[in-house]
C-alpha cells in the first residue's frame, strides 16, 4: 500500500464523520431546534484549518505528479487545485455565516443554512471525486519512484483532532465525534 494514499483516505474518513455530524446539527437548526453550537464551532474551526494545512497540499503534490504522468486523465478530472481553492472559499463563507448566527445578528437563517449545505455538499462530492477517480488514476499512473519522491517531499502536520496529541481547543472532541459516529453508525 502507498503510505500517502492511506493517510489521505484516513483523513477523508475523518472529514466525512465530522461532515455528517455537521449535517445533523444543521438539520436541527433548520427545524428551529437548538444545535450544539460549541460542537459546530469546533468542527468548522477544524475544517477551516487542517485540510488546507496538511490534506490539500498532499493532494496538490500528487495531482501535479499525475498531470506530469497522465495529463489527459488529469484534465478529464477537472482541476483539483482549483477545487481546493473553491472549497477554502466555501469554508470561510460558511464560517462567516456561523459567526453571524452566534452573534445573533439579523442575518436570515436561510443564508446560514444555504451556506452550510453548499459547503457540505461540495466537500462531500470533492471527496467522492478523489476516492473514485483521482486516487485510482494516481495508482495507475505513478511509479514506485514517483511515490517515494512525493513521500520524501511531504511534511505531514499532525491532525489536531484525530492525531496522537489532541490540541487544546479541541479537548475531548475526538471521543465525542467517535461516540456520535458509533451511535449513528457513520
Which parts of this chain interact with Fe ion (CB under 5 A)? 59, 130
Instruction: Output the smallest distance, CB 78 to Fe ion, in A.
Output: 11
Instruction: List the one residue out of 49, 16, 34 whose CA is nearest residue 159.
Output: 49
Q: Please say which residue, 85 or 96, places its beta carbon nearer to Fe ion.
A: 85
Give whichever of 25 and 130 is closer to Fe ion, judged by the CB atom: 130
- Quote the least distance from Cβ 47 to Fe ion, whole Å: 12
HSE-up (13 A, CA, CB side) for residue 165: 4
Give alpha helix (H) positions in the chain: 3-30, 37-50, 56-69, 71-77, 80-102, 109-129, 135-141, 144-153, 173-184
Q: Which is closer to Fe ion, CB of 25 or CB of 59?
A: 59
CB of 90 to Fe ion, least distance (A): 13
Taking the least distance from each CB to Fe ion, the nearer of 45 and 52 is: 52
Burial of 177 per CB tally in 10 Å (0-12, 13-18, 19+): buried
Least Å from the CB of residue 55 to Fe ion: 6
Tell me whether residue 59 or residue 159 sits nearer to Fe ion (CB atom).
59
CB of 170 to Fe ion, least distance (A): 20
b/e 131-166 (16+ beta carbons within 10 angstroms → b): eeebbebbeebbeeebbeebeeebeeeebbbbeeeb
Amino acid at each position: 500500500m502507498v503510505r500517502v494514499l492511506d493517510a489521505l483516505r484516513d483523513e477523508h474518513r475523518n472529514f466525512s464523520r465530522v461532515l455528517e455530524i455537521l449535517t445533523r446539527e444543521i438539520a436541527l437548526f433548520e427545524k428551529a431546534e437548538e444545535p450544539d453550537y460549541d460542537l459546530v464551532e469546533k468542527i468548522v474551526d477544524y475544517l477551516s484549518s487542517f485540510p488546507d494545512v496538511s490534506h490539500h497540499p498532499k493532494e496538490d503534490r500528487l495531482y501535479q505528479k499525475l498531470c506530469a504522468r497522465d495529463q489527459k486523465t488529469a484534465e478529464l478530472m477537472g482541476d483539483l487545485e482549483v477545487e481546493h481553492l473553491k472549497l477554502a472559499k466555501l469554508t470561510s463563507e460558511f464560517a462567516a455565516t456561523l459567526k453571524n448566527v452566534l452573534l445573533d445578528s439579523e442575518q436570515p437563517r436561510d443564508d446560514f443554512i444555504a451556506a452550510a449545505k453548499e459547503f457540505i455538499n461540495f466537500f462531500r462530492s470533492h471527496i467522492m471525486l478523489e476516492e473514485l477517480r483521482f486516487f485510482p488514476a494516481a495508482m495507475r499512473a505513478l511509479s514506485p519512484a514517483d511515490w517515494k519522491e512525493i513521500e520524501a517531499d511531504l511534511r505531514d502536520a499532525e491532525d489536531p483532532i484525530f492525531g496522537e496529541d489532541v490540541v487544546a481547543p479541541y479537548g475531548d472532541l475526538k471521543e465525542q465525534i467517535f461516540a456520535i459516529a458509533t451511535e449513528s453508525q457513520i
